[in-house]
């Protein structure tokens, strides 16, 4: 049994971003399906998907020891907030949940970027990792939009009235449309801060793709020369 554990651990670390990508896609799919069906347990299902995605991120990137403790602590804080979710919603303190979620997503994105761009040769796992970072960027901005919409009513045109959970699937959609600069226009930013967040997401999305492609191609060329 002891001879198999190092090999299994190596296989897990080699494919760690595959598990994270699956968890993130499951999260986005859960948001879309529950919002489409309007089922009464949609909120519970989405929150469960969020917890699974966050826990998967902690587990899959545990080899980044510098940030592992920070991510684990943020996850525990989110679990505590989730346990008292109903009190937070009625107290108007659900912004605290979004704040911790935002901090967790930023730390996880930075950890993933370190593993993708600054650790060893390029392989399929790192390519999947770059995809995970792109998804995390979209979710980060979705959380920022949700916080703004909660704080400033009317910040977005075309966004139905409701709490952060009701609007989060729409803001996920708006975020990725902005990140890819598709811009269908069915949801539009109205206030100056909403404008700032939208154009910064578009700029960072294009900048990320340019830097990512240049970094991965440069790494492949350097490895071949060696």
Tell me what pLDDT residue 144 has: 94
Angle made by CA atoms 109, 114, 117, in degrees to the nearest 5: 110
Spans in the chain with pLDDT lower than 70: 1-15, 39-47, 62-67, 82, 85-93, 120, 220-226
Q: Which CATH architecture has domain 4-225?
A: Orthogonal Bundle (1.10)
pLDDT (tens digit, 9 = 90+) per residue, 68-102? 777 777 777 777 776 776 565 555 667 777 888 88
The helix (H) or strand (E) run that includes residue 37 is helix 16-37
Tell me what pLDDT residue 204 has: 93
Tell me what pLDDT residue 5 has: 42
Tell me what pLDDT residue 29 has: 87
Structural domain spans, the chain: 4-225
Helix (H, G, I), strand (E, B) or coil at 131: helix
Tell me what pLDDT residue 78 has: 73
The helix (H) or strand (E) run that includes residue 126 is helix 124-151
Q: Beta-strand (E) ranges in the chain?
A: 156-157, 188-189
């Amino acid at each position: 049994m002891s001879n198999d554990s190092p090999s299994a651990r190596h296989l897990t670390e080699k494919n760690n971003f595959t598990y994270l990508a699956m968890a993130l896609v499951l999260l986005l799919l859960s948001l879309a399906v529950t919002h489409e069906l309007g089922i009464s347990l949609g909120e519970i299902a989405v929150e469960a998907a969020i917890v699974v995605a966050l826990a998967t991120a902690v587990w899959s990137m545990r080899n980044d020891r510098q940030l592992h403790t920070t991510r684990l602590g943020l996850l525990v804080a989110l679990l505590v907030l989730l346990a008292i979710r109903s009190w937070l919603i009625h107290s108007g303190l659900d912004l605290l949940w979004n704040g911790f979620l935002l901090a967790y997503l930023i730390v996880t994105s930075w950890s993933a970027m370190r593993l993708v761009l600054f650790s060893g040769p390029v392989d399929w796992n790192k390519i999947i990792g770059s995809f995970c970072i792109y998804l995390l960027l979209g979710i980060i901005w979705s959380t920022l939009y949700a916080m703004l919409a909660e704080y400033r009513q009317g910040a977005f045109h075309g966004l139905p009235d409701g709490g952060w959970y009701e609007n989060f699937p729409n803001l996920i959609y708006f975020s990725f449309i902005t990140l890819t600069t598709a811009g269908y226009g069915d949801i539009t930013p109205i206030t100056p801060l909403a404008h700032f967040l939208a154009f910064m997401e578009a700029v960072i999305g294009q900048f990320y793709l340019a830097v990512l492609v240049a970094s991965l191609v440069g790494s492949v060329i350097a490895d071949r020369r060696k």
